A and B are shown apart, each in its own frame.
Chain A
């Protein structure tokens, strides 16, 4: 009996003994669900897709609406259609596509790549990052840059001035976007322990094309600041022209590719054909009229006619709309076939138009070709990419490819053609419009906005204002950004 009691006592003490003997019992807090570190090859696709979403998703719909590509029939686009935009817009773009998307992915990619000496990846990341920061500052003006995307290091990053972002500011430790691109190009020239292949959903690992894209990005950014900083812009143009290694062929376009299956499709396609919100926009009458006025063969390639004729609306229209099935949307030429994209960030046509304009406005730029030659090169590149037959291209260029009149009138022609070539990239058209005032569309019907005029910047998102005291002052959508001189 006594033994039994001791036995029971011992039994009850067992758990104590067990604990002392089992130190690892509590050592179970390593997550089996997520990796703590990942190789560059899985960070590159997310960095690239983020840039595509930043450029091709909601911000593109906003810019395409105010730039008369599209008419806002319902939902958010109907507000943009009358120029209304507030800090309630683009929170997802800022948070998940730009800073929490491509920027942080690029930063992590650079860290992961540098750790293993995979310089190709670092180089691509720097170019994509520069493109995205340019997008952010062109859209919002002063934005977090030098302290952005670095997590715990800066939980409330400061606003860097747009001027400092483009030009750099050594005193403040701000690297210029041009230097960032230069660094990327230099990285791409170095030997790399590993190189991208299919994970590069732009060029499939062709480093030479990334270098061309880097130089083309420098041209785009130089033109963007050319009104404000003509001397710096001229110097950059000449630097790039000297190297003479930019996108010069449609096959070298920086277009981010997607896939045709659900969950892999380009945002423009999903919005246009799949989304619940697909009927919130139609193509704008302004766009159709512009192309009809030019007898442009691209019109039928870009805009669908489900009822046999164009059913579009003038921006700002408030009356009763036709049945949704009859309304004109973008064709798959714009959206990419079955969603496969690409989302075009930099194109050969764009590069030609940039050079054409630079030739006219920056006298110090050493461009051998005439503005007209470059203008025609741009039109041809655009038409060829869309599949316009060569004969039609030649006919069109013969009548519409001649620059005439004053410099201003010639710029109007260049920007108008660049606008048509940029269909699907509303932000780029908006950038050009703010810089040049072209294409000169009338203000929208029933326009409200702040002053009844097209917005010239976006308002900082509410979440950021709430979370970061550095966001001041809060400028409305009618205040020009730094490079927007006139």
Chain B
């Protein structure tokens, strides 16, 4: 009730500002562009010093009442404003000149507000559609890699449709969602992964932003930090990505048809180099059941061996047995975009198609989307706009992860094993492999499959009305709804489910938002030169989710992949969530004489997920932008503009659903070694069983808050030839709603409570420059550099570390740890002496047992940077992006497995020579004196000692220097096309991930097998990265 009163008062305030004006006569005219003479609809015309104004119609004409001596101000986005003294004239025609610098400066900010970048007191980075389209990359987030400062993007793998993680300015929530809020054309857009399988073993679904093709992007604005995003509410605490798709609002009067097409190829890359001197076996003996390559050397006395199946085969190296398991992938993308109309009345139809065959046999991804939308203004002044997009995306994949999957086996192929040459199944479809309990990787790709079929519709309807020229009311309703039908088939004979298992997941997700927005503005508010605008908004939000799992185990009929083939259905389940939120928000922006901008924001949310007593929370923000070069008028040829910005904001966050109660769950025991799931069948009876959930609920939760401070300097030098932006940010996230680890002896695993403090601080530098611009040749450089320091300051009383929710192996726990950055991996470190030297057992020459509960890896890079060089000459454009990720670790089960199995190239070097582990021996056993270890051991023991799950030796430095992207485009001269209906043709070639250099890792560290989410820096038998390259064409009619 209080809130309504508040908004009423504000409303009245606004009404008071309107004043009557003396108006004497009417002038009219036409506004055109100096560049090509086309008419400009939607140009705003203001009577200077008043709130009176109008806009040009679709023919570029206008009419306005003026008095003699009035000055009209013509302004239009992308053009230089022009002031014209009316004098005695009745017709005032005006030509507007394009403002090159301003073009890039208008950014779409929170709640769809177009703002001049120089007025913004917080950091926003813009990426143009051209920077992500036609770059050989079907995943939009991947296409942004290296292009944004302060944004960490990591793709999970090169698998078709696999997910990509993104964090803006670090992680702010211990256990909640840390992905930024994605807004597509004003629609809150779901980017969840919704894992239905254990991420250690299951299939890797897409992140749902994959449903947007990079080819459809007009622009992307990244609003960093909460300061930019108070208006969007809770979820904007992790930043906001505002995506604008291509649509008709830019064009003026004519119909434009754009066709795009591209074909790209994909190859697995970054798989480590392997040795080819030694074959299957252990201790220099051949063993046909071993997954090791510590067998005899090739070319010796052993020339023939008998396989597990009893076949006699030559004993030789198969150098490409692993490499050729991965095939060449193909990505084919086509799109057509038809738009017509002007700024006020327009229509758009866009159709796009992507189809991809992955690098792993049997994997694929496809995406088809149709968008239809338009805007119009009715005769009574009501503006209506709408757009609806339907997307169907399908992912055909395989099960991945450790144990019992193709990718889990591919690191265990002995060098002498003819993986691809011999049949992988017998006539009954049974796997033929060197390990009886595992499946041949090719068998797995054929018989252990995963598919995800998404049908998604999202769109909006807006109604807008200008009650007064200075007062606008609008309502926007948006919806984003998808169904995802997933199916995992583990055929009979699968290592993980020897009797077979079929799992169907029917996922429904919907989010509906209604936003009422009242906007008002007033120039020369109280004093001359002070312009004010105010926005009042109300948001009603509902999110619902349902996942129905039908699980059939113990199959009977081979090859019949239907639920009805099962005889045990005990894992069948349903999960449903519903949450609602009502928010009220305001934004008051003041600008003084084009050099001082102050903006105040505030939002009150009421959330269904918090206890009733604590479910309402307020958070404010303030930002200031000051341009001394204007204020003190010291701008020059060298210093075109100096801007200083600063902002402080706080964003509150509600809880996840259903955290308030302790509940009971259907019981289960065990893991992949042995397990039961209730209801169990005992003696012919079905016995249900429930257990208390491992989490203790809390009905006293309060919202969590992130307070952030952001400051920066922006320099425009040499008339815009060089711009430099340096920013610093600091944020504190407190009162985290987190499931804190408690002693297991309590009978429970976690307790939900408000705890902890997490800080992020960092520097971001963006630089763009045009070193050469002469005639038709230009060279542009655009670079970014950022460093982020994240620290878990405190967790909970008596708790110094806690595991991040998600799936993880015992002994390799992605964790929060007091004093360390978020997401460090807790595992077993080497036992060391006080000097930090590794301790070796004097009896064996091997390392002493390690120290558990040690921090062994930190996945966060020290700094990242990206540099794009673009060369333009006539119609030719060449751009190349290099990026660097410096520091940070990756825990790679793949690499350490290959190494301890004797497959990695390094294990073949001097294999017959004994060696000593690096370390020291405690001579007297009492720590009084240490000597360097000199006990000689075999290569097998040596590399074996550096193996093992959960050990520090599986951790590698993830520093990577990467040639991320190369694109060459040629735009045909318009003269050539003058006599055709074709407006423009551009053709190009592009490549991605063309080269990488990772000095301290045997392969490409740019993978994360756990997919998008809070667990990063793990490679537990995921798919490798890919190199993409291909060509594309764009035709405009």
**Residues of chain A at the chain B interface (Cβ within 8 Å):** 1, 4-5, 8-9, 11-12, 15-16, 19-20, 25-38, 42-46, 49-50, 53, 57-58, 84, 86-88, 91-92, 94-97, 99-101, 103-105, 107-108, 143-144, 147-152, 154-157, 198-199, 201, 257-265, 267-268, 270-271, 274-279, 320, 323-325, 340, 448, 461-470
Contacts and interface: CB of A to CB of B under 8 A. Distances in A.
B681 A261 contact: yes
B743 A276 contact: no
B467 A9 contact: yes
B689 A99 contact: no
28 contacts: A5-B467, A8-B465, A9-B467, A9-B473, A12-B516, A15-B514, A15-B516, A26-B580, A26-B615, A29-B658, A33-B574, A37-B664, A45-B667, A46-B691, A49-B680, A86-B849, A91-B810, A149-B746, A152-B746, A155-B743, A261-B567, A263-B676, A276-B495, A320-B283, A323-B289, A464-B744, A467-B744, A468-B745
Interface in B403-455: 403-404, 436-438
Interface string B877-913: 0000000000000000000000000000000000000
Contact of A28 (B575, B578, B669): B578
A136 to B, nearest CB: 9
Complex A-B, nearest 10 residue pairs according to Cβ-Cβ distance, in ascending order: A104-B747, A270-B674, A34-B663, A144-B745, A149-B747, A46-B667, A267-B674, A468-B743, A31-B658, A45-B689
A341 to B, nearest CB: 9
Contact of B282 (A29, A30, A156, A320): A320
A462 B282 CA distance: 32
Nearest to A29: B608
Given A5-B467, A45-B687, A323-B308, 16 more contacts: A35-B664, A37-B664, A46-B689, A94-B745, A99-B744, A99-B747, A100-B749, A151-B748, A155-B742, A198-B685, A257-B682, A263-B568, A267-B673, A268-B674, A323-B289, A464-B744
Given A45-B689, A49-B676, A201-B682, A16 B538 contact: yes
B690 A26 contact: no
B747 A100 contact: yes
A262 B497 contact: yes
A15 B540 contact: yes
Given A15-B540, A26-B608, A94-B744, A36 B661 contact: yes
Given A46-B678, A261-B681, A276-B438, A150 B743 contact: no
Contacts of A462: 811, 852-853
A2 B507 CA distance: 48
Contacts of A323: 288-289, 308
B664 A36 contact: yes
B473 A104 contact: no
Interface string B362-401: 0000000000000000001010000000000000000000
A198 B686 CA distance: 9
B745 A53 contact: no
Contacts of A258: 676, 680, 682
Interface in B235-250: none
A26 B749 contact: no
A15 B656 CA distance: 25
Contacts of B741: 466-467
B687 A201 contact: yes
B489 to A, nearest CB: 15
B682 A264 contact: yes
Contact of A42 (B499, B661, B689, B694): B689
B71 interface: no
Nearest to A91: B810
B287 interface: yes
Contacts, number: 296
Nearest to A469: B798
A144 B747 CA distance: 10
Most buried by A among B495, B496, B678: B678
Contacts of B607: 26
Contacts of B742: 155-156, 467
A20 B538 CA distance: 13
A270 B670 CA distance: 11
Nearest to A48: B689
A264 B568 contact: yes
A467 B554 contact: no
B94 interface: no
Contacts of B692: 104-105, 108, 151
Contacts of A53: 669-670, 676
B664 A34 contact: yes
A277 B673 contact: yes
B751 interface: yes
Contact of A276 (B283, B403, B748, B828): B403
B478 interface: no
Interface in B564-592: 567-568, 570-571, 574-582
Question: Which of A8, A27, A270, A340: most chain B Cβ within 10 A?
Answer: A8
A461 B950 CA distance: 15
A38 B664 contact: yes
A15 B579 contact: no
Contacts of A263: 553, 568, 570-571, 675-677, 680
Contacts of B436: 279, 324-325
Most buried by B among A9, A26, A148, A320: A26
A465 B437 contact: no
B124 interface: no
Contacts of B798: 156, 469
Nearest to A260: B681
A295 to B, nearest CB: 34
Nearest to A204: B683
B437 A278 contact: yes
Contacts of B751: 152, 155
A196 to B, nearest CB: 11
B667 A466 contact: no
Nearest to A466: B853
A154 B746 contact: yes
A92 B553 contact: no
Contact of A198 (B285, B404, B475, B687): B687
Contacts of B403: 276
A49 B669 contact: yes
